[in-house]
Amino acid sequence: MPAVGEKNSDPYERILAHLDKHNTKTHMWRFRFNMKTGKTTEQCIDDEVTEFPVVNNHYVGYQYRYSYNTLFEKGNWLFIGIKKYDLLTGNATRYEYGEGRYGDEPQIALRPNPKAEDDGYVITMVLDMKNNQSEVLILGAAEIERGPIARIILPHVVQTGTHACWVEGERLYRENPVR
């Protein structure tokens, strides 16, 4: 595709092509930085197209085991599900929302006094195009493939592709990671 400013370049087509993550081939990668030696290593973790990885807030910036990434419909900027990576074992599980259902960026909410990194919930909003309604889906973070443990139907439709964040109550005014 021609670069912006080149003859016959259509900026709208370029934007649409960039939004299709199957064109840009966004894959899960891990970069490691050795702060003592300055050595950097990189590793492709999976060749499936995913984006917007999230981890348990208490592990951001530290070694973590699980990453929850969005799955994309080919040819569109539509989130069709969530893929959970177990970076220790190399296994992955997934939950897809179903035909005509598109999600938002997932977030992790821990149970009180969590016993494990994935002892909590994955929360996301989903737009159901067939029923013209939005809902909040709550999945068990340990086993997302089992599907929602709760659904909250929202009073208004929320546009798909919304970015979100989850902040635990005790972290609203100060950082206090659980270790």
The alpha carbon torsion through 104, 106, 112, 114 (nearest 10 deg) reads: 170
Amino acid at 108: I
Amino acid at 111: R
Cα 113 to Cα 127: distance, rounded to the nearest angstrom: 32
Q: Is residue 80 a contact partner of residue 51, using CB atoms and an 8 Å limit?
A: no
Q: CA of 71: how far to CAs of 10, 53, 86, in Å? A: 27, 10, 16
Q: Is residue 85 a contact partner of residue 92, using CB atoms and an 8 Å limit?
A: yes
83: tokens are: 């893929």
The phi, psi pair for 39, rounded to 5°, reads -70, 140
Annotated binding-site residue? 163: yes
4: tokens are: 């912006």
Degrees (nearest 5) of the Cα angle 134, 139, 145?
110
Annotated binding-site residues read 163
Annotated binding-site residues for Fe cation read 163
